[in-house]
Structure 1
Amino acid sequence: MPIVDKLKEALKPGRKDSTDDGDLGKLLASSAKKVLLQKIEFEPASKSFSYQLESLKSKYVLLNPKTESAGRHKSCDEAHIRRQGSDHGFESCSDGVPAPQKVLFPVERLSLKWERIYRVGAGLHNLGNTCFLNSTIQCLTYTPPLANYLLSKEHTRNCHQGGFCMLCVMQNHMIQAFANSGNAIKPVSFIRDLKKIARHFRFGNQEDAHEFLRYIIDAMQKACLNGYT
């Protein structure tokens, strides 16, 4: 019996097991071997794909092409930043983007590496479905540029916010975390101000870590821009 008929017979509803199953297995193995060991002949393409690449390039517009004037634009931007306090602070370069009125943190001071070596900081207790909060805080705590800035305590020396300040909360947590290496601490300051970070978050609920991260970053940005907007 051909393998197709064997399969149809085996797949009939209500069919009981029979001794033909062994023969079916042999037929399947033989057919699979025949297919898998069959030599495949490849033929070269009649046309190259370069014409397709060119047609794809024509579909898109390059927003920032590298031109000879790119270097001049950059130097112009840097010159405007240096003159931020002058009367020409709002003048723009040929790209049409005005220079910032005030630089909150000079780019030359930004360090992507740790400025000093710290021992691994404290772990965080789960206070009841707070794993989303703990994981987000730990990621931010070990982000070198942010940690370098907050551990220098420069923010609190210049902070004029009378109420809730996300950067102050984050700074106090980092200082406490690195002062308690080998221990575990409770992130109570974040729980206490949870609704100030995200109004719809509720303590005890399961929340999304990525969403919480976005709200924390927004809150830190508001703290940075306080008094400038």
Structure 2
Amino acid sequence: MTIVDRLSEKSDHESVGFNRSFTSGDVGMDGSCSSSWAVGPSMPGDSPRLKPSGGCLGPTPGAAVYNGTPASMDRPKDHDGIELPQKVLFPPERLSLKWIQVHRIGAGLQNMGNTCFLNSALQCLTYTPPLANFMLSREHSKTCHEPGFCMMCTMQNHIIQVFANSGNVIKPIGVLNELKRIAKHFRYGSQEDAHEFLRYTVDAMQKSCLPGTK
């Protein structure tokens, strides 16, 4: 049951004598019984009036009670009351927040012309242990059957290349070639926002793991 405060100004419904009932399908506000509330027809100078029926306590005048059971309430939830995901991309018990294998510092990334936004975001993702552990295991590519663009495969190839060229500088060509697939408005050679690129990249990676979202 949700209580929605009304504004003090008259709405269009008030000006035409709006009359509608809102019935709570639960116990009353005092927990004693069910209650119904109606917005009476507007009169000159009057604001909507909530009329109780059944003698139960209800919300204060000036509030309307809307009742409804969202479909999401029927979905299973965890012990914190949070809806369970429709698909688990990677079980949490298999996540390792620390490096599984110790690596030497990976390769640096060459600026290909206003690509510092891309390089910085890629470096942040490359040195995020849970993601890097998964990518270096090549687990995704072993099960990926996507014939076209797959951001997970693109990121996996990039991270593997970074750690295979420790002490060197590489060109992030694999990611640059997919720039417009990551976001249509990105342009090669244009200075873009690093945070925006990071968000679109993570979103593209998630879509690669969910069928029907490409």
Structure 2 length-normalised TM? 0.61
Task: State the AA in 2 paired with 1:220.
Answer: M
- The reply on whether 1:214 has 2:211 as its aligned counterpart is no
Between structure 1 and structure 2, the one with the greater Rg is: 1
Match of 2:6 in 1: none
- The reply on whether 1:137 has 2:125 as its aligned counterpart is no
What SS does the aligned partner of 1:137 have? helix
Match of 2:185 in 1: 200
Kept in 2, the 8 Å contact 1:161–1:226? The answer is: no
What SS does the aligned partner of 2:123 have? helix
Match of 1:109 among 72, 94, 106: 94
Kept in 2, the 8 Å contact 1:167–1:220? The answer is: yes
Offset at residue 95 of structure 1 (A):
6.7
Offset at residue 111 of structure 1 (A):
1.1
Kept in 1, the 8 Å contact 2:207–2:213? The answer is: no
What SS does the aligned partner of 1:136 have? helix
- The reply on whether 1:99 has 2:84 as its aligned counterpart is yes
Which structure is higher in strand share?
Answer: 2
Task: State the AA in 2 paired with 1:136.
Answer: A
- The reply on whether 1:147 has 2:132 as its aligned counterpart is yes
Match of 1:123 among 105, 108, 119: 108
What SS does the aligned partner of 1:206 have? coil
Matched positions, count = 141
Percent identity for Structure 1 against Structure 2: 66
Kept in 2, the 8 Å contact 1:151–1:171? The answer is: yes
Match of 1:10 in 2: none
Once the two structures are superposed, residues 140-185 of structure 1 have per-residue CA deviations (whole angstroms, 9 ceiling, x without a partner) of 0000010000100000011121110111000001111101001101
Distance, in Å, in 1 between the alignment partners of 2:132 and 2:158 is 11
CA RMSD of aligned residues (A): 2.2
Match of 1:188 in 2: 173
Distance, in Å, in 2 between the alignment partners of 1:131 and 1:93 is 41
Check 1:121–1:101 CA distance in 2 against 1; reply closer, same or farther (3 A cut). same
Match of 1:163 in 2: 148
Distance, in Å, in 2 between the alignment partners of 1:167 and 1:96 is 31
Kept in 2, the 8 Å contact 1:92–1:98? The answer is: yes
Distance, in Å, in 1 between the alignment partners of 2:79 and 2:126 is 40
Q: Which runs of 5+ in 2 are unaligned?
A: 1-74
Structure 1 length-normalised TM? 0.57
Distance, in Å, in 2 between the alignment partners of 1:94 and 1:138 is 36
Distance, in Å, in 2 between the alignment partners of 1:184 and 1:104 is 32
Which structure is higher in helix share?
Answer: 1
Distance, in Å, in 1 between the alignment partners of 2:79 and 2:140 is 35
Offset at residue 91 of structure 1 (A):
4.2
Check 1:189–1:98 CA distance in 2 against 1; reply closer, same or farther (3 A cut). same
Distance, in Å, in 2 between the alignment partners of 1:200 and 1:155 is 27
Kept in 1, the 8 Å contact 2:136–2:160? The answer is: yes
Offset at residue 100 of structure 1 (A):
3.7
